Structure 1
Amino acid sequence: MTTAQPSATPLNDFPTASLPAAALRESVTVHFSETVAELIELVAIPGIAWDAFDPAALERSAEAVATLIRSTGLDDVQILRVPKDDGGQGGPAVVARKVAAPGMPTVVLYAHHDVQPPGDKALWDSEPFIAQERNGRLYGRGAADDKAGIMAHIASFRAVMETLGNDFGVGVTFFIEGEEEAGSPTFAPFLKEHRELLAGDVIVVADSANWKVGIPALTTSLRGLVDGIVEVRVAHHAVHSGMFGGPLLDAPTILARLIATFHDEDGSVAINGLQASDEATVDYAEDAFRADAGVLDGVRLAGTGSITSRLWCKPALSVIGMDVPTVELSSNTLLPTARAKISLRLAPGQDPASALAALEAHVLDNAPFGAEATFIRGEAGQPFSTETAAPAAQAALWAMGQAWGVPAVETGMGGSIPFIAELKASFPDAQILVTGVEDPDSRAHSANESLDLGDFAKAIESQSLLLAAINAGSLKEQKV
């Protein structure tokens, strides 16, 4: 079993006893079937922000989200976009606002409505864009990542408005992005253009995961991310493998040998200049990790230190794509070039620019047999960490514990959400809370993506409690 260590930091004093917890829970429960039905309708829209897919579906997705937010009673709902560097338009973001009462804080609720492509449909047990409930889980592309985040925001806001009515003075801004899965290419200019519209005291990013089914988590750190393309060249053109093979190694073999230098014998990343630590304190048992990740029996895990330190506090390098002929199209030819796309996760505290420089230097310095190597730099995203002693974080931890009935876990996250660094740069005084509705078996980005419906209900209840706690004054010490 995985051992979860709850937060040991005492809660800031705020009037939790006076909050209408039972009424909020009842409101969430009464509307839950409706909420799930709305989520199913969102899943049916294949809004993918990649250039290779029909943009009309992405527009329909934005319109559907805007309609759902209007159904809560908000009138100030807009679909906004800014231009890309190439002159095209960025993905459609939905922005809606309830203005704060005088002296009250504003909470920004972030999620994204675009989704990953379905991939190979043969790997799915049901149609990717027809949500299907099986054994308490809802299956479908976007059911977890991140249309459930959208519905958690909408449903919790609905519950608070229904329960507190005019007594709910907190300002609420919905910010539902439309291009996150495409790398948020216009996120920074969007924040710059609409900074005043999106400003808030607390920003809740519902795009992460809980510790496991039945145990909530507040994500307190995220690894950064850089990527790039490695290309090797060994000849001016392809030649017959029988006539020239032996003295000349083909480019895929050279590329494989170069890739092998990225890790040492125990599987740790072997690139000079990358930061790593063993600071993680939460225990993640190896058998639990193996089960959650679907690791085959006999496959040795890579790296050193605790599982959580390897996941949260150390770099991880993966080859996520290769350009070589398929087996079906292969011939007896020595290929002159081959290339691979490399994704490198960074420990919190690592500067992405220095990591890219280190990765490039490693590629150029380790090309086998004198092959010509090229590194094309790609994306770069900052790591993230939060201060859990801050009032909003303490309120969130309290709300999660109330909704789930067990203490929340403060976790790192092996994944990256690069746009959070943009949020922090644009709103340095805001408290950023990274929450989510996924669990280790949600399989976001993979076939059979799914959402645990029991935890989904608890996530909605938890966020409604958080909004009510903020309304009751849990941020008072930070408001002037």
Structure 2
Amino acid sequence: MSRDDALARAAAYFDDGHFLEALSRRVAVRTESQNPASGPVLHAYLGEHIAPQLTQLGFTHRILDNPYAGGGPFLLATRSEPDAAFSVLTYGHGDVVRGQEGQWRQGLDPWRVSVEGDRWYGRGTADNKGQHTINLVALAQVLAARGGKLGYNVKIVMETGEETGSPGLREFCALHQEALAADVFIASDGPRVAASSPTLFLGSRGFFNFSLRAHLRDGGHHSGNWGGLLRNAGTRLAHAIASLVDPKGRVLVKGLLPASLPANVRDALQTITVGGDPGDPAIDSDWGEPGLTPTERVYGWNTVEVLAYKTGNPDAPVGAIPGHAFALCQIRFVVGSDSGNFVAHIREHLLAQGFDDIDVQPEGEPMAATRLDPDDAWVRWGLDSIQRSTGKVPSLLPNFGGSLPNDVFAELLGLPTLWFPHSYPACSQHAPNEHLLGSVAREGLQIMTGIFWDLAESGHDVVRHRAGFQSPPAGPT
């Protein structure tokens, strides 16, 4: 069989309803990692819904406990060939956010796939059950079309805690680093730039949460008796935040910004447009770092966001000067930022501005920023493969605007990372009415079938080139 035959098989699998059936079975499993009682369900998803498919494809697998106490289990699987030229590592997560039953539009059930035109509603359809199902189905089509021979090894790690911050993922991969050794990482999560635009992204922005607290005194004091005499915690905290980010969203603390926007990153972003699809919010053109395009601001720069703010008693306000105010803030940051010293930079800045009454503390576990060099040989190879499968010029994001545990694969395991997303920005992931677009899923099946086919045909050339053995590969042929 040829490459075109394999892509046709993938399209037929979708058109015949087999993909819908497979996804429906997986969506029905309530893998809510935010629910402490979900441990047995998470284990069952791996053991009863993923492992049997992998066994049919010639994988050996193990379901292993999380080294992090209370974390969900992992699946580690390997498909080896005796004369394999290289190894590919792929990833997915079987957990979802809470179903939010009762909040979905009438007629929709988060645990049942409901098809309305191009929209396939259900929890996990977009994040991430639909995406890893696409990839496993595509791999199956290539194996069938090539008579069970790929010419490379495939390794899979699937976690069940991504929606709670991937607890234990780094420790697990460190423990099994030898078993996970590979030459390239290929996976799918997150959204495309737009529904109609096949996308390749090479990493993700990191995030860092921090709290700001003004605790000036215990309790409130009558605003008529004490107004004008006592510092207002809410006012002090508001001005402290305003010293970090201006009224138009520009970050004012140099230590919270990246050193630069690299030229090859800027070049890659020139053809990308953010927003504009139905359901997308209107972009505030004058918000954020001046001198940057909207695309550069979300994919190439850092932002400081206020996620929550509280002072006094918002539910039942009274005429009292609050003594305490709290804000939870977040920095989304790119490669080249001094993320290890964000708190120190904030504290130094606030003290210099006279805010010695504001306490700054890190909150939760941060996630590192990652970005494969857009000039890497794997990037050209991946873009060429997408274009050959779809006839479209794909969008290249050096990193996408959200965050993923990509640092585990890029830094701990030292792999070039290629992400091929099969969702789109308005998919309502993490919210009621989450959905996958059938058209994107069908195209995604063909993209990933092309990727796995082209790995067999030309992946070894890329591996050799990166090792310095030959001139740059021409891309899939």
* TM class, shorter-length: 0.7 to 0.9
Is the 2:197–2:394 contact (alpha carbons within 8 Å) kept by the matching residues of 1?
Answer: yes
Report if aligned partners of 2:11, 2:445 keep a CA contact under 8 Å in 1.
no
Matched, 1:190 2:172: yes
Q: What does residue 423 of structure 1 align with? A: 409
Identity across the alignment (%) = 19
- Find 2:126's aligned residue among 132, 144, 156: 144
> By how many angstroms is 1:445 displaced?
2.5
Inter-CA distance 314–185: structure 2 relative to 1 (3 Å threshold): same
- In the alignment, which residue of structure 2 is the partner of 1:14? none
On the 8 A contact 1:205/1:434 being kept in 2, the answer is yes
The 8 Å contact of residues 383 and 394 in structure 2, kept in 1 or not, is answered as: yes
Whole-angstrom distance in 1 between the partners of 2:456 and 2:443: 20
Give the equivalent residue in structure 2 for 1:15: none
Which residue identity does 1:115 align to in structure 2?
V
Moved more, 219-228 or 113-122: 113-122
Between 357-366 and 138-147, the greater mean CA deviation after superposition: 357-366
Residue aligning to 1:371: 357
Cα offset for 1:211?
2.5
Q: Which has the higher mean CA deviation after the structures are superposed, 22-31 or 70-79?
A: 70-79
Q: Report the Cα distance in structure 2 between the residues aligned to 1:54 and 1:103, rounded to whole angstroms.
A: 38
- Give 2:239's aligned residue: 257
Q: Is the 8 A contact 2:275 2:282 kept in 1?
A: no
In structure 2, the residue matched to 1:408 is 394
Match of 2:142 in 1: 160
Matched-pair contact (CA < 8 Å) for 1:133–1:139: yes
Q: What is the distance in 2 between the residues matched to 1:362 and 1:20?
A: 61
Say if 2:220 is the partner of 1:244: no
Q: Distance in 1 between matches of 2:33 and 2:367?
A: 19
Give how far 1:346 is off: 1.0
1:42 Cα deviation after fit: 1.9
Per-residue deviation, 1:419: 2.2
Matched with 1:26 is 8
Structure 1 counterpart of 2:474: none
Please tell me whether residue 470 in structure 1 is matched to residue 455 in structure 2: yes
- Tell me: CA distance 1:469–1:312, structure 2 relative to 1, closer, same or farther (3 Å): same
Give 1:372 shift: 4.2
Q: Shift in Å at residue 333 of structure 1?
A: 4.0
1:319-343 deviations in whole A, cap 9, x for unaligned?
Answer: 2234557643444443322222211
Question: For 1:89, what is the secondary structure of its paired residue?
Answer: coil
| Residue 233 (structure 1) shift | 0.7
Query: Which of 422, 430, 438 pairs up with 1:445?
Result: 430
* Other-structure match for 1:62: 46
How many residue pairs get aligned? The number is: 456
CA contact (8 A) 2:203 2:417 kept: no
Aligned equivalent of 2:189, options 189, 193, 207: 207
3-state SS in 2 of match to 1:111:
strand
1:435 is matched with 420
**Matched-pair contact (CA < 8 Å) for 1:132–1:139:** yes
Q: Residues 360 and 81 from structure 1, CA distance in 2 versus in 1: closer, same or farther, beyond 3 angstroms? A: farther
SS in 2 for 1:196: coil
Cα gap change, 1:409 to 1:122, in 2 (>3 Å): same
1:321 and 2:291 are equivalent in the alignment = no
The CA deviation at 1:49 is 2.4
Q: Deviations over 1:355-380 (max 9, x none)?
A: 34323433555565x53423235433
- Report the more deviating stretch, 370-379 or 104-113: 370-379
Matched with 1:11 is: none
Please state how far the C-alpha of 1:98 moved relative to its aligned partner.
0.5
Contact 1:383 1:421 in 2 (8 A): yes
Deviates more, 1:50-59 or 1:99-108: 50-59
Residues 249 and 58 (structure 1), Cα distance of their counterparts in 2 relative to 1, 3 Å cut:
farther
Which whole-Å CA distance do the structure 1 matches of 2:224 and 2:125 have between them? 52
**Aligned position for 1:341:** 328
185-194 or 273-282, which deviates more: 273-282
Q: CA-to-partner distance for each residue in 1:18-40, whole Å, 9 max, x for gaps?
A: x8222112221232222222222
Residue identity opposite 2:133 in structure 1:
M
TM-score by length of 1: 0.85
In structure 2, distance between residues paired with 1:413 and 1:206: 13
Alpha-carbon distance between aligned partners in 2 of 1:219 and 1:374, rounded to the nearest angstrom: 33
Counterpart residue type for residue 146 of structure 2: L
Structure 2 counterpart of 1:237, which letter?
G
Structure 2 residue identity aligned to 1:313: G
Q: Which residue of 1 aligns with 2:110?
A: 128
**Correspondence list, 1:43-58, <5 A:** 43-50=27-34, 54-58=38-42
Instruction: Identify the range of structure 1 (59-68 vs 149-158) with the bigger mean alpha-carbon deviation.
Output: 59-68
Q: Provide the rounded CA distance (Å) in 1 between the counterparts of 2:105 and 2:349.
A: 38
SS at match of 1:77: strand
Aligned-pair CA distance for 1:155: 0.6
Task: Name stretches of at least 5 consecutive residues in structure 1 with no aligned partner.
Answer: 1-18
Q: What is the distance in 1 between the residues matched to 2:92 and 2:347? A: 33
Structure 1 residues 95 and 360: CA distance shift in structure 2, 3 A: farther
Q: TM-score, normalised by structure 2?
A: 0.86
The separation in 2 between residues aligned to 1:117 and 1:402, in whole angstroms, is: 38
How far apart in 1 are the matches of 2:327 and 2:105?
Answer: 27
The answer to whether the 8 Å contact 1:223/1:383 transfers is yes
* Match in the other structure for 1:350: 337
Helix, strand or coil for the counterpart of 2:458?
coil
Residue 270 of structure 1 pairs with residue 252 of structure 2: yes
- Specify whether residues 375 and 95 from structure 1 end up closer, same or farther in structure 2 by C-alpha distance, changes over 3 A only: same
After TM superposition, the structure 1 stretch with the greater mean CA deviation from structure 2, 285-294 or 212-221, is: 285-294
1:79 — aligned with what? 63
The one-letter amino acid paired with 2:294 is I
Secondary structure of the residue that 1:207 maps to in structure 2?
coil
**Deviation larger for 48-57 or 250-259:** 48-57
Relative to structure 2, which stretch is displaced further, 74-83 or 101-110?
Answer: 74-83
Residues 287-306 of structure 1: pairs in structure 2 closer than 5 A: 288-289=275-276, 293-295=280-282, 300-304=286-290, 305-306=292-293
C-alpha distance in structure 2 between counterparts of 1:333 and 1:20, whole Å: 76
Which stretch of the first structure deviates more once superposed, 160-169 or 258-267? 258-267
Instruction: Note the residue ranges of structure 2 that are not aligned, 5 or more in a row.
Output: 468-477
Deviations 1:106-147 (A, max 9, x none): 111111112223458536563333332222021222211111
Distance 1:362 1:286, change over 3 A: farther
Aligned twin of 2:472: none
C-alpha distance in 2, partners of 1:173/1:475?
Answer: 16
Mapped partners of 2:444, 2:177: distance in 1: 28
* Shift in Å, 1:215: 1.6
RMSD: 2.9
Amino acid at match of 1:102: D
SS at match of 2:254: coil
1:381 deviates by 2.5
